[in-house]
Each structure stands twice: as C-alpha cells, then as structure tokens.
Structure 1
Amino acid sequence: MTTAERVQPPPTAIRPKVVARTGLYALLAVNAAVVTVFFLRAGPGSDTLIMLGRLAGLYGALLMAFQLLLVARLPWLDHRIGMDRLTSWHRWVGFGLLWTLLSHALFITLGYAGVASASFWDELVELATTTEGVLRAIVALALILAIGGVSARFARRRLAYETWHFIHLYTYVAVVLAFTHQVAVGTTFTTSSAATAYWWGLWGVALGSVFLGRVVLPVWRNLRHQLRVSAVVPESDNVVSVYVTGSDLDLLPARAGQFFLWRFLTKDRWWQANPFSLSAAPDGDRLRLTVKTAGDGTAALRHLKVGTRVFAEGPYGAFTSPDLTEVLGLCEAYRVATGGAFDVRLPGRGLDPCAMVKGWSVQRAADLLTGRGTSRFWLNAGGDVVAAGGPWRVGVRHPERADRLCAVLEITDGAVATSARYERGDHILDGRTGRPATGLLSMTVVAPSLTEADATATAAFAMGAEGVEWAAARADCEVFAVDAERRVFRTAGLPVAG
C-alpha cells in the first residue's frame, strides 16, 4: 500500500501569528502595569472620585496610544495578524477608550464639584474656563464621541467609505488635543523624570509608527515602483479588471488575494482610497484588480485612461499559508471569469471558499498518490471523483429521482463533478444577486483535474442557464446539464460509456 503524508512543523514551532498576537497582549499588559506604578508613586490623593478619574484618564491615554499602533499598518503586524483582525481589535479597543475617557471626565468633574460644593455643570464650566488644557480635553472627547458614533454598525452602513474615512481623520486632532491636556495638567506626567520620559516615549513610538507605516513606507514604495494603469478590461456589464504596471514590480512583496488601498490620480478621484484585492498572482510585470460595480465610484473605474498614475498603499492581508493563497487566487479567478456569479464572499456568509476547497483538496491527494508512483486509484468525495488507470465508470444521478441515472460516463484519467440541489437544497448562490441559483437542476463537468471539474460545475450552476455554454467553452471541459425546464445538454466530447 502506498501512503502519503504531509510534513508537519516541529511540535515546538510557534506560529508567527501567535507570536505577534501574544506580543501585542503582553505589550498592553506591561504598559498598563507601568502606568499603574507611576500612578501609585504620584500619590493617590484624598478624594476617591478624583483618584478614579485620574486613573481612568491614564488608562485612556494608554489605550489611545495602543489604538495608533493597531492602525499604523506596520508590515510586521499586518503580515502576521492581518489588517482585518487588527481593525477588529481597533474597533473594540475604541469602545474601551470611549468608556475610560467618559469615566475620566465624569469622575474628575464630580470629584472637584464635591470639593467645591458646586453642581456638576457649574464645575465643568469652571474647569474649562480656568484650568489650562481642560477645554482642549473636552473638544478631544467630543471628537472621539462623534467618531465612535459613526463607527457603530448602524451608522457605518449608511455612510460612504470616503465620508467615514474623512471623519475618522479627526482622530489625530483628538490625539494631539488629548496629549497637550496630559502635558498641561497630568500630575503623573510630571511627577518624576522617569514618568515624563515614559509618556514622551510612548507617544513618540505610537505617532512614529503611524508616520512610518502610513506615510513613509507608502510614499517610498510608490516612488520606487511608479505605478500606472496599463489596461482597463470590462469582464461583464458590472465587472471590470484594471491592470497596473510599474518599475521593479518583482520586488513588491504582494501575493494574489492580498489587497491595496488604491488611489487613481485623476482630478476627480485622487482623494478616494478604495480597498481592492489582487485578482491574479503578480507576475513581476503587472498587477490586476477586478472590481464589481457597487456605486458611482466603482462604476467610474471602467472609464480610467491608460497611463493614469496610481498611488497604492499595501499590500495588506495575512497569508501565512501558501495553500490559502492558492485557493483564494483560484476563487478570484473564477469570480472574474463568471462576472461575479461565483463568489466566496457573500452577504451573511463571510469568507466561505468551500466551493473551491473540496475539489482542490481531493485533487491534492490525487497528486500525492501519483507522485508516489500510484498509477491506478479512485477517490470519491461526496459523489465527485478523480481517478487514474481506468477505465472507470461514473453514474450521473437523475436530479429528481434518486433511484435513476441520467447517464453513465467512462473515464481513464480525469475527474467528474456534479453540482445540484438534490442533496443540500438551495446551497449554491448567484454571487451577482445573493439569491439561490435556480436556472439549472444539475450540472456535471468532466475535466483533467477535480479542482477544475468541481469549481466549473459550481460556477456554471451559479450562473444558471448561461452557465452551460460558459462551461462548455472552457478548455478540456465536457458538460452534461439539465436545466430548470428539464432539457438535457451535452457536449460532443462527453465520454459516455458504450
């Protein structure tokens, strides 16, 4: 018996993602401990509310600096954790920041109001008008409240990306105002030279990381690569591919499935930065992004002129597995080829590449068998098969009668895959509409590999009736299909058993 095993990393190996994530947690915990020590050394004070307010303010300042690190777009973090995960952490840390700063303002004002025997609002006005830095802190808090409000899911869905992004830029104004407030009235900041050095160092690292990751690195890469639009290719009525070329693209550390923030430097688009993924593996000469129309901004891409200068920030996206990179690259290729009917990113499902993974993984197993010298085998994955050393016979089930066959195929070396509704119901969605595909009852594809057969069958089924002709036109694919009106279609080269 021939067996195949995948080489596993040593049990003691620690994944880079775990190292980066643990490092961030440890960094935050250590700094929280340091802040607490400086607070205790400064003396807690006699009023409990003022003490709690000061401590909340210090933790708020620490969270604000940590927020900057999360959105600095540093390659070391992004490649290990991914911008999507960093952005999610940024969002939740943002809520923590909001509550700590609100607690700071509330407890400080209540504490001083109690000392002065004044009302909350009278004391707030008194602090804002007589104490240096407090008015700036109030403005900073108002900005953070506004940014937190537009970041809530219900508000975010109703705002254009450009509007949301512009409002978010006021975060930097809030950071500067909050820092000057801390310098002006923060007793912990000025208690000792060690505390002063710590806070200056903390803010220096946080702001320096943002400047490095969001200004220096993107500008350097764009000056180096000199990106320009080289071609604009409509793939369908609502899908367009934009090809970008430049200098030394073989040195750009990008892979298929990663994304950039693209700015096309025309007079009406230079200020818009949109996140689009690479839809093909970079070949060292050009990059390709493929976009489905979702508004005026994306619709305008098909009117870009060849030669348009491009400013791209990235690449972003944590792909620690070459296999994942390959699968997502194949998914993107099928999405483009079908005009968006085949799509592994659907509303309510998140990222779901199962339509590609099954055929791809079984084909990998077949390739391992072949590589180990096995010349005759049959692998069955839920009715989809890949075989070698035939002849082998494969029955195609009737789409409405489980006890009947529509056809019997005969293959020697190759694969057969069928997509239908009879096993799992309406599980295949048309990515263009988000609704179940209903134009076909079944789609069977014969191809040299199960990767091709399974993905083509699923994609054609998602396209509906037009998918029959599309699948039949693909190189080395033979098709047997039954449409919703129970009409049968088959290509001339279909290997029907004699």
Structure 2
Amino acid sequence: MTTVQSPPAPPTAIRPRVVARTSLYAVLAANAAVVAYFFAQAGFASNALIVIGRLFGLYGALVMAFQLVLVARLPWLDRRIGMDRLTSWHRRTGFTLLWTLLAHSVFIIFGYAEGASVGPITELVDLAETTEGVLRAIVAFGIILVVGAVSARYARRRLAYETWHFIHLYTYVAVVLAFTHQVAVDTTFTSSSAATAYWYGVWGVALGALVLGRLALPLWRNTRHQFRVSAVVPESDNVVSVYVTGKDLDRLPAQAGQCFLWRFLTRDRWWQANPFSLSAAPDGHTLRLTAKAAGDGSAALRHMKVGTRVFAEGPYGAFTTLHRVRSESLLIAGGVGVTPIRAILEDIEGHAVVLYRVSSDRDAVLYDELRDIALAKGAELHLVTGSPVPDRLAPSELARLVPDIADRDVFLCGPPPMMNAVLRSLGELNVPKQQIHFERFSLAG
C-alpha cells in the first residue's frame, strides 16, 4: 500500500508563544503606566512613606488582578503559552504580590506612625479600629501570607495536592477583601470618575476572565458534548486506555498533544480531577486518554464502567504542532509520556524521527501503534531500552541517532528526570530553544 502525504506546512513566521507573551507584557506595562498616571493625578500626601506605601498598594492590586488572568485558563492564552508556563508565571507573580503588599503595609504603617508620633504596632491597631477597610486588608494579607508559605517549594512538595488546593482557594477570599479595602480607603480609586471606572474595569475583566475560563466555558462544553466512557482497554498490567465519546465532538477545538482535566462522575471519584493528555489525535468522534496506575485515581480507571458520565475541562496546553518552526521533527518520549507523542505523530506533517525511551520492551506501551503510524507516514522509530546509566539519550547518542537534530523541531515528553537530562543534551547539541517544545503536565492552581 502506498501512502501519499501532503506537503509539510510552512514554518510559522511569527511564533504564537512570542505573540501571546508580548501581548501580556504590553497589557501589563500599559496598565502600570495608567496606574502611575492616576496616582499622580490624585496628588501626594505630605509624608513620603505614605506616598510610597500607597503606590505599592496600587501595584499590588494590579498584580493581584493579573494573577487571576494567568490562571483563568483562557483558550487563546493557553494554546499559545501552555498551562504549565502560565501556572509557573502565576506562582512567581504570587511571590511578587506578597513582597509588594508587604512593602505597602510597612510603608503605610510607619508613615502614619511617624505622623502620629507613636509606634508602628500602636498605629496598626489604631488604623484597624478606626479606619474602614483596614481590618479587611489585614485579614487579606494574612491569607496571602499563609498561601505564600504553603506554596514555597519546601512546603509544596510535602503537601497533598488536595490540601494545598483547599488552602489556595482562600486566595479568592483575599481578593474580595483586598478589593473592598481599596474601594473604602484608596483616594486614587475615587480621585476621579475616570480612575473609578478604570479600577472597576480592571477587576471586572480579571474576575470575568476567571469566571469565563474556569466555570462558564467548561459548563457550556460539557452540557453541549455530554461526554461518556465508551470503552476501557488495558494496554499492560498497569496502563489502561479510556475511550470517551459525546455529541458534536467534531466541534470541540482539541488538538493532538493537548490534555484535559478529567472528572469521572462515579460516587467515589466525582470530586477528583486528573490531568491526562490525549493519546490519539482527535477524530471528531472519540477522545482517548491512556494512563499509568500511579495513584488511587489513575488505578481506578481500569474498573471504570462503560457509560460513566465524564466532566472534562479543556482542552489545555501548547504542546501541539501550532508552535512548529521547522518542516522536520524529532519526537522523544519516555515511559507513559508516549501518550501525547503518539497523538502528535499521528497529526504531524513532514519527516519525523521518534525516540521512545523505556527500561525494557515490556514497558513500551502503544509501541505497536507507534510502529504502524511510523510505517504509514514514512517516519523513523527507535525503541531505546536499558537502565538510566549509562544515559541512552546523551548528546553523543542523540547525535548518532539523529545527525540533523539541530535542524528539527523537538517534541519532548516523559518523566521529569529524563526530560531534564534530554534538555541538557539538546543544549549541548546547540538545538535552538525555539525549536524545543515540551510541557510539564500538572494541575494548575
């Protein structure tokens, strides 16, 4: 049988990720300038410490609103930047917010204490008792301190996701308290009708984006598509594929390489969301996920009954062919990280080389499918087996298997240690960063 392939799509002239990132920076910079303008227009207090404190407070409010946009899971941003990077930016911005609000509090308290000729603690108590909105601000800052503490790497690694997420939800309480504090005491907020309209607009857009991306869009898509489990197929002793069908799936904007947050609506698992990427390119009729038993949630998939209702949030992720800059590709998979790689191989155009890294042949799930797709598309497939030492994907080995590696897009997915090692190898081989595509799939806050 002869397979005729369409010519590969031309490389993207303007990288979508660059466009989205630049747009975010430009919007943030423009808002920072507007905040400075309204701050100057409102006039300055006689105490320099109070002036600095108010400015930090305003920028703290702006950063807080920006944080909401980063985790709103808006499709346009998510497909161009990716959930993992947006979540990482959200985390870094969170620590920026913490220090900004700390500076706001310190400068304001010491500024008013200096004017009243009292100590900072006395002044803090006096402000909380006499000034509307200050007590709410103290509670909001306390919540942000707690969330910042549990989000530090040391604490985050030792907390269950459910515990961390429950604590993190209190951030929304802090947002409401901070907003009402700003309305009550900020002279800049009410200095002019334009300033008031601006700040209501900022918070309206931020909260609107959050409601749209995290609530309205998932509810609308699940109501429209009515996802259900249509088949459960064991792939190995600890890996299973789940097939999901629904209505009008040809109108679901899912791409090979993307993931969903899946909630299987059983009595004991309906509350738990698990991020699994698609293990086959969407065909308009069926979605397939393939998961390894790594916990109670993923292990329970093997016993899922056909007909089980599914609540799927997504599709999410920028790990797609949208970001290609070269006409030829290298796809590197490790372990169960083969799932999005297998989907991308099915979807990708142009010559591709696939490296599948596993400990032994029996760990190579979906290998037969990879082989059949590679044969049909004229791709090269290499199964790389053996222990982690020596490194089977070291620079010398990659250069041997793929001599033109620097001229290819590289799609990478696998366990974090393997991905880190391969990224170092690609750096040593001088593969340009814009040609390296990967995502670290995890739940976003």
Q: TM-score, normalised by structure 1?
A: 0.67
Question: Do the aligned partners of residues 101 and 329 (structure 1) sit closer, same or farther apart at CA in structure 2, a change above 3 Å counting?
Answer: same
Residue 378 of structure 2 is aligned to residue 454 of structure 1: no
CA contact (8 A) 2:255 2:320 kept: no
The secondary structure found in structure 1 opposite 2:195 is: helix
**Map of 1:32-431 to 2, 5 A cutoff?**
32-319=32-319, 321=321, 340=335, 343=337, 364=351, 430=359
Question: Do the aligned partners of residues 433 and 194 (structure 1) sit closer, same or farther apart at CA in structure 2, a change above 3 Å counting?
Answer: farther
Which segment is superposed worse, 252-261 or 53-62?
A: 252-261
CA contact (8 A) 1:80 1:320 kept: no
Paired residues in the alignment total: 368
Letter in structure 2 aligned against 1:241:
S
The secondary structure found in structure 1 opposite 2:283 is: coil
Letter in structure 1 aligned against 2:381:
D
CA contact (8 A) 2:265 2:308 kept: yes
Cα distance, 1:329 vs structure 2: 12
Cα distance, 1:61 vs structure 2: 0.2
CA contact (8 A) 1:230 1:307 kept: yes
Q: Which protein shows a greater Rg?
A: 1
The secondary structure found in structure 2 opposite 1:237 is: coil
CA contact (8 A) 2:16 2:323 kept: no
Which segment is superposed worse, 158-167 or 33-42?
A: 158-167
Cα distance, 1:461 vs structure 2: 5.0
Question: Do the aligned partners of residues 278 and 272 (structure 1) sit closer, same or farther apart at CA in structure 2, a change above 3 Å counting?
Answer: same
Question: Do the aligned partners of residues 344 and 290 (structure 1) sit closer, same or farther apart at CA in structure 2, a change above 3 Å counting?
Answer: closer
The secondary structure found in structure 2 opposite 1:140 is: helix
The secondary structure found in structure 1 opposite 2:189 is: helix
**Structure 1 residue ranges (4+ consecutive) displaced by more than 6 angstroms after TM superposition:** 323-332, 431-434, 449-452
Letter in structure 1 aligned against 2:161:
Y
Counterpart residue number, 2:411 = none
CA contact (8 A) 2:332 2:355 kept: no
Please give the per-residue CA displacement for 1:81-129, whole angstroms capped at 9, x wherever unaligned. 2112211211111111111011111111111111112222221111112
The secondary structure found in structure 2 opposite 1:190 is: coil
Q: How far apart are the structure 2 equivalents of 1:131 and 1:108? A: 13
The secondary structure found in structure 1 opposite 2:188 is: helix
Q: How far apart are the structure 2 equivalents of 1:433 and 1:98? A: 48
Q: How far apart are the structure 1 equivalents of 2:54 and 2:21? A: 29
Question: Do the aligned partners of residues 118 and 418 (structure 1) sit closer, same or farther apart at CA in structure 2, a change above 3 Å counting?
Answer: closer
Q: TM-score, normalised by structure 2?
A: 0.74
Q: How far apart are the structure 2 equivalents of 1:284 and 1:42? A: 56
The secondary structure found in structure 2 opposite 1:253 is: coil
Q: What's the C-alpha RMSD, in Å, of the aligned pairs? A: 3.5
Q: How far apart are the structure 1 equivalents of 2:31 and 2:138? A: 25
Between the two structures, name the one with larger relative contact order (CA 8 Å, sep ≥ 6): 2
Cα distance, 1:14 vs structure 2: 2.6
CA contact (8 A) 2:258 2:320 kept: no
Structure 2, gaps ≥5 residues long:
1-6, 365-373, 389-445
The secondary structure found in structure 2 opposite 1:311 is: strand
Q: How far apart are the structure 2 equivalents of 1:156 and 1:95? A: 14
CA contact (8 A) 1:162 1:273 kept: no
Q: How far apart are the structure 2 equivalents of 1:418 and 1:130? A: 67
CA contact (8 A) 1:343 1:431 kept: no
Cα distance, 1:71 vs structure 2: 0.9
